[in-house]
Chains A and B, each alone.
Chain A
């Protein structure tokens, strides 16, 4: 169902309540998501982005209820991952000659996906497209989060169509940030930033500052996923400037895996030691094999110190810890301290191996870690408390 945003702009996207994972299974989307597409009706008519491929027919059918497709003068593709470009084939079947405005990288990506020789119009930062009373201005934003990404600013209605930037995987029928639970939205916005945008924080910082310096009047930020930022849209810009700047809180995140509870006991004792030494520090324990991987990464992002523990198994560490180490490497966390711990039976390689991987992932290693054999006794647990206390 289309939703009117302003006299000229209508939301024509798809709310996906059922979506529980994204990028295959790389990103959990517990609260669903939306694929936001926007129809602008000025003297000229422009469509900004489409929806994910499985909903292509539904999208086009609903768009037809809203407008005669032949009245669409321009299609603007801010980013061409399949969750936004997926309905293009179905749409272009109906209006094959309609120009598609995108970056040069965007054209290459659309061609690479759909292998169609559509009417592409390449745009660069500063290029404009007058629609009548309003004008679209394009702002290239490479690697936020793909090479093709751009923002589109609509003067007159003062809307920034930011695509994945400022987005959240959050399904709601209520459309606006001021109509939903803000705690939920901010949690999803943070999780989205950490898991998708954090590797590109230097570009985020530069691009957001560039957009702020343009001093554009800003009534709405309309991302491609989740709610539209209507109430104080600058709040998410301010958050991005914080998150992109080696963000951390006074938090220690202890991530562990355990086979027979020994490493879990160590984790708990370490947490107790930290909490006693520094009562104001937030301590969070997360089981790598049980907790959601993207929630764990989000809590690693918030932390100033990350402790990672695994029992030694087959001369190595657990599969869940291995996955998180690889994901943490890719997310390029900045200015975070880390150390490893774990229990073992006879060989005990895990702690050293995890330490090496943490270092390769860009963490500043605090010490060589702590490892204990078999089941920790009272003295061993006290040693864990002491080890934790000395970290803060």
Chain B
């Protein structure tokens, strides 16, 4: 249990549970560069509820990764209000409210798989016995039992990324922020990992924010799809997906899937200026 979850559990009535996990209102972010300011995010408003699987989709430079970094307090916004679990992103980060999965696995090459996974637990001061127990549990979740003693270079790219997901899950955060975690993998492995991720999400009931630029990936995974466009980075459309739970890859052949994918594509087209 994270410190945040404990805090929430201590409050009777559980009214706080009804609060959105992430609330963003009037968010702007401007990078001051040498020649001209870059408007990375412009007037972004968004609410993410507990248990949601939200995808940010858009072309490169639309600010989807930046938006997630703001939520994670890896980037400070220029103006606007961001709340994570009802508190500021910085307070949420200090309370270890989220697990972050990066585009690259970012494993530490001098640590074995096991010790990569226990890294956040070591930092948080979890006792060794519990570290090992938690590591065993998350390794099972990502189907990597038996690889504890391997070093990262001995694993394939897909396995490395699964280790990084296990690492983010190890301290059991309520919120998972995933920045194109499968972007560097081939489509066959990506399909497989998407299905595994969906099963994982259903089992753990976590809130997931997922950045992607793949339309099928976004539609397949999400309960809510946030379509973004560049220059300035802004939200074009928010699509609540009514695809059933327990989806399998077959759902991509369905009529409803095609309709949602079409709406995403329309949004991307509307937002994209073809002048350049």
Do A and B interact with each other, yes or no? no
Binding site for A on B (CB under 8 A): none
Interface residues of A, Cβ cutoff 8 Å to B:
none
